[in-house]
Amino acid sequence: MAFTRASKRTIVVTAEPPEGSPLQRLFANARANEDSLPGDDSSKKHSPIDWIEDPEIKEELEPYVPDETDYAQMKPALTPREYSSAPTKGSYTTLAPGGHDTSVGDRDVDADDSSVDVLPDEHPIFAVRGGVKTGICWHDILEKIPFNIGDEVLLAETQKALRVHGCAPKDEDGFVAESKLVAEMMKKTLDYPLESPAGRRFSLREVDAGSRISEWEFDFSSAASVARTDEIAKILREEWSGDESKKPLLEVLEGWDRFIPKGFFVGFLDLVFRHDGYYYVVDWKSNGINRRRSGFSSRGITKEMADAGYFFQYLLYSVVLRRYLKETLGENYSWERDFGGVRYYFLRGVAAGAEAPVFADRPSERLLARLSTAFGLEERS
């Protein structure tokens, strides 16, 4: 294992290994590849092994044989530890209400709704196929491009991504048309106006490379978390009670009762960025919803957030960001001053100029604190 996993060097202290053993065969092959004698130019050696012999060790030592007392202490336990086949990882994809594709690990992907007919007068972005490959391709573009990118470079990066991810139409005319369509969608995404908690309007164009982290992976222990998701649902009912905008989200909590593994919470945040002192969580969504521009209204995307369980995703990610800010800023952390909230970009809606293609929320400090405790990130008072 050491030989196959080492990235720089492996040091082995050994006597001459037995004939025919794996280590002996490795040494024999290495020695056979040495073209020079000791003292020659080392650049002529093809073997990756440096041989170091200790001249002080000459005598052969007898192997250690434990006495009866030591042997009794070295015997394995008669009752081996029980092995548990229970899952040890929890994530948005495994815990959220509804079914989710876990074939790509702990990253979430958008469902393929390409079977929905697209009306002739709808924006052509709704005719672009959906599913895992498309979602990963669009994520990859937004992960890698600088947000102040020019149009020509953006088109070139889009074309490269479409080819790399196998999303490019086979005919050249179709490829050129789809490349321009997707590149234009990316441009509109970068230009889409956002509003900070202080009321200042801005766009992603203003976010430089030093103020963003893409595909931010996290994991933390769930050993102290609540046992089941129904306890998370209870917190949400209490905190969101009376908020009319959260009604669609509350409706899907009925029956949400999944076991939370006692191991780790894991996941990836598509983007975290800082602007004017506020930190934001961003997620990219390639969902077609109903393949209609009208589906990307405020009500439509809130329903999508509920049906796909994205509310749990953005709350989990907000808890992770809050924990990060508390650890890095320490006593200087302030929800009011530091936490900007979440922005979920429904990319097709942005491309089509829909009414409200970006979902925004700013979970309260009280809610995030209660969820942090439920997830096991903070001690219960």
> Amino acid identity of 24?
Q
Average pLDDT of the residues of the chain = 86
Looking at residue 275, its pLDDT comes to 98
Looking at residue 250, its pLDDT comes to 94
Closest listed residue to residue 345, CA positions, set 280, 292, 282 = 282
Task: Determine the average pLDDT of the residues in 143-149.
Answer: 97
> Amino acid identity of 358?
V
Whether residue 171 is predicted with pLDDT greater than 80 in this model: the reply is: yes
Q: Are 282 and 343 in contact (CB under 8 A)?
A: yes
Question: In whole angstroms, what separates CA 66 from the centre of its chain?
Answer: 50
70-89 pLDDT, tens digit per residue, is 666 666 666 666 656 666 88
Closest listed residue to residue 23, CA positions, set 44, 213, 197, 15 = 15
Sketch out the chain's domains with CATH numbers: 1-79 (no CATH), 92-374 (3.90.320.10)
Looking at residue 56, its pLDDT comes to 65
Band of residue 43 on the pLDDT scale cut at 50, 70, 90: very low
The length of the chain, given as a count of residues: 381
Band of residue 274 on the pLDDT scale cut at 50, 70, 90: very high
Whether residue 44 is predicted with pLDDT greater than 50 in this model: the reply is: no
The residue among 26 and 194 whose pLDDT is bigger is 194
- Longest CA–CA span in the chain (Å) reads 89
Q: Within 10 Å of residue 346's Cβ, how many Cβ atoms?
A: 27
The residue among 14 and 346 whose pLDDT is bigger is 346
pTM over 0.85: no
The phi and psi torsions of 279 (rounded to 5 degrees) equal -110, 135
Looking at residue 82, its pLDDT comes to 66
Helices (H), the chain: 2-5, 22-32, 68-74, 92-95, 132-144, 151-164, 172-191, 230-240, 247-251, 298-307, 310-329, 335-338, 347-351, 365-374
> Amino acid identity of 342?
V
Q: Within 10 Å of residue 188's Cβ, how many Cβ atoms?
A: 16
SS3 call for 92:
helix
The residue among 170 and 102 whose pLDDT is bigger is 170
The b/e string for 61-87 (b: 16+ C-beta within 10 A; e otherwise) is: eeeeeeeeeeeeeeeeeeeeeeeeeee
Which stretch of 40-44, 51-55, 142-146, 249-253 has the lowest confidence by average pLDDT? 40-44
